[in-house]
Structure 1
Amino acid sequence: MEKVMINLITFGVPVLLLYTIKFLSHETDIYLTLAMIYNHFGGRGVIAISLLLGLISNIFSKAAIEHLLLKFCQKRSQFMPEQKLIEKIDRLPISTDLKIKFKWSFLHQDFSWRSNFKILIPWAFILAAISATLLTFTGYLGQLHYLLEMTSHFKLQYLVVGLCTLFFFLLTRRQKWAIVSLICLVINLGEIVPWYLPQGGNNSAIASQIRILQSNVLWNNKNYPQVISLVKEEKPDIAVFLEVSKIWMKELTALKDSFPYSFTNQDSTDMGTAIYSKIPLENPAIQNLGGGRKTLVTDLKVKGQIVTLVASHLSIPTSKASFYLRNKQLVELTDFVKEIKHPIVALGDWNITMWSPFYKRFVQKTALKNARYGFGILPSWPTTFPLLSIPIDQSLLSPEIKVVNIHTGRKVGSDHLPVIQDLAIPAS
């Protein structure tokens, strides 16, 4: 009996997941869904994922069925003599190994809360390992649905879960589950480790070095002095502020003594963007890229070299409508950036991480590089839940611009951490 149930779950889970993807992607034909998955992962990738899902389902089904049957027999033992229950177990259509396990459990049974707690601990780790591994894979299908794309952003968290569960399964000698955790660990290590590896040197002649500070100040944050104080401590040449309310716009005028040049735009009462600079801002322009909040564009002349600064605050992809809006903004930002002839610094709160397929498509088409490379992933949001923190405040640069340093600043009352970067600008 348990073999039939195990086989049903082993084959049923991948099929259920496939139909879930079909539903989320709004495809009418299951073959079109398979074609989309094939386009994302290729033939070998599809085979590997299918085998992995089958392995996880098989391991899970064996453990789950055994646990459920054991619980059922334990309930019956409360109303049935031990000898009669053992005779009943002998008549069950299950394997001999499972019968022996059941009999042993009743001869040594302990229904105390401590015993139940011991049973729950392994199951908690098993559930965590399965969840982290599945979410690791669903993130690569982010182009199909906004919920799938949201699972692509938490690679660091999946890595930590994979590491913790791997140690637990090794200590408790659960080899099959250790393999699942190891797969989760290796895949996410491959996504995170490259961000910490030193980057190759830039052979361009350096004209000057500038420091840029960017901060989403949060429209209802009232810690104005903290932001002003941070700017004075970090001493940037350019400060870019996002989610600037009308009150914030007024408070930021305190920076005009140190930053004689400014360029601002107010999209609404609560949303705006402000650029303060010690370097003259040339050709300032407001671009409506894809709708929603406007993008500020301006040129900086750094010892004869013109650098174009692009400051954007993209939509938050928490619904289908805002998901499509953000992706449309990224597409139009891609086309806009490709037309710029000077070195570029494109930054802001993009509400996307480096692991999203939409981010990867942007980088591929624009050939810009992320300022984080070689310095770590630097999570910046949300400050209110550090364990879930992810890097959504981005800075993308032309390859000829060298990153001397980049780091996150201290908390200033916002749900975002400021990001400060030192850039070496090439000679003209």
Structure 2
Amino acid sequence: MRQPKNKERALAAVLLLPALLLLIPTYTFTLTLFQSFLFQAMLVYGLLSILWIIRHHYRLAGINFSIYLLVLIKINSPIGLGYQINQGKEQMTVLQFNVLATNQAYESTIDRVIQLSPDFVSFQEVSAEWATELKKGLAIDYPFSKVVSNDDASQGIAVFSKHPLIDTEIVEWAGTTNIIGKVKMHEEEINFLALHTRSPTTRLKWNSRNEHLNIAKKYISEKKGEFLVLGDFNTVPWDNRLKNFKSTTELQDSRKKLTPTFPAWNPYLAQIPIDYIFHSKGIGCRSLDSVKITSDHLAIMGTYELKGM
């Protein structure tokens, strides 16, 4: 009987080692990349728990299920429990979408946006071609806009609105283009920041992304009034740097469930959430859902209540 028990202990140790890497804080480049797939790792541990029960290895099942629960808690802890509603009578719909610079489905993308009919839209990866097509295709429905193409097509960015845009500016932070300004909804002026952080595929880009978040955090914290901050943040909700961004700015994530957005061609269980619409406490979020349009990202669209003047 000793040999099976020894084998069971060895298996338990093997399973615990990656679990420790999944659960410790994400303060390094390697850990951040590894923990981006925390949701998928949680599913693996959950399935292993079931497998060990079927095979009557209850100690292993217990260890795996404990890891599953701990990872589940880590994933859910930064995500709110319910939508904040009843903030006011005025409503606003917001769409966030990374179009993918190499995507050439211009007409179907524009038609889908018009069909969805959000009040305010933020686009990333706006190449020169995308800039031309978006301005031409959305001009009637969205008379107010700011469009910035870039030599690096993946860094082009744009906002379109059915309502007046005020004090819009293009600012460069950590080598990336951002759009700041206000959107006037009825009698209320709401600050907005549209951004696209670098994809942290290398340590240099990871540092750039972190610097970008720090600059954005400082800007938002020093600005008065209600805020919408939206874009492709290239990180997951449980990343410590994004958690710090939220706590410092006191912004709330519109996401109240996983709502993954990338990569769009993968099945739901193989996607991760990296696109966001954050809002200040004076704005209530009634709903947020992912929307299939085109591109390697799913769009996200939220409905918000404004407290009014």
Is the 2:84–2:286 contact (alpha carbons within 8 Å) kept by the matching residues of 1? no
- Superimposed CA distance per residue, residues 375-426 of structure 1 (whole angstroms, 9 cap, x where no aligned partner): x1100001133343100001111011111111111141x1100111111111
> Which structure dedicates a bigger proportion of its chain to strand?
2
Distance 1:422 1:156 in 2: 26
What is the aligned counterpart of 1:358 among 223, 227, 241? 241
Is the 2:287–2:303 contact (alpha carbons within 8 Å) kept by the matching residues of 1? yes
- Superimposed CA distance per residue, residues 67-86 of structure 1 (whole angstroms, 9 cap, x where no aligned partner): xxxxxxxxxxxxxxxxxxxx
Task: Give unmatched runs, 5+ long, in structure 2.
Answer: none
| TM-score, normalization by structure 1 | 0.66
1:11-410 correspondence to structure 2 within 5 Å: 59-60=9-10, 129-130=15-16, 133-137=19-23, 140-143=24-27, 145-193=28-76, 195=79, 197-199=81-83, 201-202=85-86, 204=87, 206-253=88-135, 254-270=137-153, 271-289=155-173, 291-373=174-256, 376-386=257-267, 387-410=269-292
What's the offset of the Cα at 1:154?
Answer: 2.1
Is the 2:96–2:276 contact (alpha carbons within 8 Å) kept by the matching residues of 1? no
What's the offset of the Cα at 1:269?
Answer: 4.9
What's the offset of the Cα at 1:309?
Answer: 1.1
Backbone CA RMSD of aligned residues: 2.3
- Alignment identity in percent? 25
| TM-score, normalization by structure 2 | 0.91
What's the offset of the Cα at 1:180?
Answer: 2.1
Larger of the two Rg values belongs to structure: 1
Distance 1:409 1:209 in 2: 19
Q: 1:190 to 1:336 in 2, by over 3 A?
A: same
State the partner residue of 2:302: 421
Distance 1:211 1:151 in 2: 34
What's the offset of the Cα at 1:317?
Answer: 1.0
Aligned to 1:160, what secondary structure does the other structure show? helix
Aligned to 1:173, what secondary structure does the other structure show? coil
State the partner residue of 1:52: none
Distance 2:26 2:75 in 1: 18
Is the 1:305–1:427 contact (alpha carbons within 8 Å) kept by the matching residues of 2? yes
- Superimposed CA distance per residue, residues 225-284 of structure 1 (whole angstroms, 9 cap, x where no aligned partner): 221121021111112111010011111121101111111112325131111111000000
Distance 1:232 1:276 in 2: 11
Distance 2:25 2:288 in 1: 30
User: Highest relative contact order (Cα 8 Å, sep 6+), 1 or 2?
Assistant: 2
Is the 1:158–1:184 contact (alpha carbons within 8 Å) kept by the matching residues of 2? no
Task: Give unmatched runs, 5+ long, in structure 1.
Answer: 7-56, 64-125
